[in-house]
Structure 1
Amino acid sequence: MKRVSLKDVAKMAGVSKSTASFVLNGKAKTMRISEALAEKVIAVAEKAGYQPHQLAVSLRTGQSKILGLIVESISGSFFAALAKIIEDEAEAYGYKVVYCSTENNALKGRELIRMLSQRHVDGFLITPTIGMEKDIKKLVSLEKPVVLMDSYFPEVEASYVLVDNAKGIRKGMEHFFSKGYKKIGFVTVDIDLVQMNERLEAYHESLAEHGIRANKKLILRVPYNGDKADAIAQINAFLKNTPGLDAVFFATNYLGILGVESITSLGLRMPDDLAMICFDDHDLFRLYPPGISAIQQPIEGIAKTAMQLLMQQMDKARNGNMVNQVELEPQFIERGSA
């Protein structure tokens, strides 16, 4: 079936092509086209099933009204919640969102940036992974609106918004210390990401501030993208083979979920046998008895702030190429595990 063109709509409505274009692009009042005529053109277009050619609109206006969202994982609860809020915020600004994930694969991230660029998206919202530095730097050098979330590259001058990772860890550690726990383990992911490094560094600093000497045996690094059963086995071994361990801090919620499974399988009671806190909350932590204490990231704040920063960049006439770097306050949610 032949696609209905703007020329076809104009002919059916009995108006010029330019008049039809002005009406269908929301410029009827500006061009002093009568309300009755505008309504007639719109009615004809709807009845005929007219759909504007998006690429042609993009070339004409310089905007696609589409944003590219690249996250680490579509399945992760943090990223899913982030994406939902961003989609809602984008809609309020009049934009649609193309949503994809890297699974922390830099090559995939590079291909996604190329794909989104070819689709002429108006801006990028990215949770970056190691190896994407050059790609992000190129976007910035081309003056493409881009905001990083959850992580960033110190060597790349780009806008970003994330939680204050160090403050989150300190809040959890101070709670442990207030309960008298001193031999505190730390389970993290074996990947060189800024946010993970900041969390581990804050763990060390908290120990030092309380006069506790760091012990490498109290730190477990679980391989990223490893087999779930292997990860649980590693955590089991860590908990069983660390004498006197009285508390453990999990650096991400998916590690925390594996930790809950491990602690349960070992028959340990929380907090009597082992206290636990996890960075990044999850619905499971609220529902699982006795409730898992967690550092809650301000997901809504991250998403809304990122959208605001992106919109500011897109309004270049007023704001220029602004670089804003924002860290938001985390919240400690106390439950029964610690």
Structure 2
Amino acid sequence: MQCSQHRTALLAAGFMWLASLVPQALAQSGYPNRVIRIVAPTAPGGGSSISARLIAEEMSRRAGRQVAVVDNRPGAGTRLGTEIVAKARPDGYTLLISPSTLATNPTGFKSMPYDALRDFEPITQTLFVPNLIVVHPSFPAKSLKAFIAIAKGRPGDILYGSAGYATNPHLTIELLCSMAQIRMTHVAYQGGAPSITAVLAGEVVLTASSSMSLLIPHLQAGRLRALGVTSATRSPALPDLPTIAEAGLPGFEAIQWAGLLAPANTPREIIDKLHKEVVAILSMPEMKAKLAKIGNDVKTSASPEAFAEFIKAETIKWAKVAKTAGIVPK
């Protein structure tokens, strides 16, 4: 009798557990049934934020109702907004549109409130944008090879600026120094625009920046000279400018990128649905054209796993560059 009652109790508990899963399954199959918040840990206007808004607008257009909004939460070198998503419920209604600081921040900050490789479910990369390496026109080098030759004869003498300590432009130039076996002195500025201004004013000789819209007018006017683009292929915006790899450092590549992620443990069904939807949206010619206008190239991942591997590779790559350059977290 006792065994029978025990079995009955276990069966009842099992049915109750299964019943509790039904609403969750229904909610997931009807996803999204409320508004998705895409957190952008940057100020409005940057490539990652703009791509998020384009994605949110198209998702809403397709659904015939508003299904996604962008919430800009800049601060602490993108750590503020990124932490919000890392600690959000893994239900698919809080997402992160992260720039490449996800992979570079660990090189510059001791205090990291999240683990980029553990606390997120990658969905897809959304875009990439190369840096341009530019110098003041008074500097005698007119090519990368000539610049390297001069720098080798003046170790530590040449000043270069960046958007800030341990930022992508800082690490990009340190990668160049490592591969070219030269040594320059770093000057950190509070953002990319001030570093460009510093080169224009002659405060520093060189900088790296992804702000094509700011740089191209200065290149055309002769106020700056470009030594190369840091992507593996030439930029459509400057098709006659060689890559750094073509100009003298084979294998060189350093890009800035953005991608969409969810909190860790978000159901796989939701991750797959978002991947399929976002890749389809970014494949639209009009989306590529809109992002190209601000110097960004669409780049999507074949799968969430492929994006996860890319983030891991970028994190390892920049950690090695930082170690070689003596960049330590502050």
After TM superposition, the score normalised by the length of structure 2 is 0.43
In terms of Rg, which structure is larger?
A: 1
After TM superposition, the score normalised by the length of structure 1 is 0.42
